[in-house]
Amino acid sequence: METKLSTVVQGRKLISCAPNDRVVDVVKRLAAERVGAMVVVDGGKLVGIFTERDLLIRVVAAEKDPRELQVRDVMTPNPATATVGEEYYDALEKMQRHHCRHLPVVQDGKPVGMVSLRDLLFIQIQDKDTEIRRLSEFFEYLPPDSGFGG
């Protein structure tokens, strides 16, 4: 089964912030939206990503005050991205290569969505279930003397 990222992000709201937003406000939005990452957009262009990991390492562990920081101070600049035309398994491979759990999805250079490792693993599980079901159906219809069981 082939699943393009355009299908995965279709109908989802893109949650974004600006580089000059205060970290405390962005964290409140992450909590309200129940998401772990947000794209950082400046003038319609993707300039970074702000994740729970950024918050933990660059704010909490660094003992900085999130009320005094702007997202630009602690975001991950120029994150790895995927395009809407990419297959989910290519995005999974990219996440593994870049050691990330969230991947902004872009179209014509502009952010249109975000996929998480959880999203893509769920699709992979569905894909494997479909493959197993098809193989099971195939083997059910083989004659007993085919050499494949029976």
Helix, strand, coil tally for the chain in percent (to 5):
45, 25, 30
Within a domain: residue 61? yes
Name the residue range of residue 47's domain: 5-142
Domain-located, residue 81: yes
CA angle 72, 79, 100 (to 5 degrees): 115
Please state the domain count of the chain. Answer: 1
pLDDT at 88: 83
Collect the ranges in the chain with pLDDT lower than 70: 1, 129-139, 141-142, 144, 146-150
Residue 89 is assigned to a structural domain of this protein: yes
Does residue 147 form part of some domain? Answer: no
> Does residue 87 sit in helix, strand or coil?
strand
On whether residue 131 sits in a domain, the answer given is yes
CB 80 within 8 A of CB 100: yes
**How many residues belong to the chain?**
150
CATH for 81: 3.10.580.10
Give pLDDT tens digits for 37-53. Answer: 999 999 999 999 999 99
Q: Is 149 within a domain? A: no
- Residue 150 forms part of a structural domain: no
**Alpha helix locations (H) across 10-113?**
23-33, 52-54, 71-74, 88-98
- pLDDT for position 129: 60
pLDDT of the residue at 8: 78
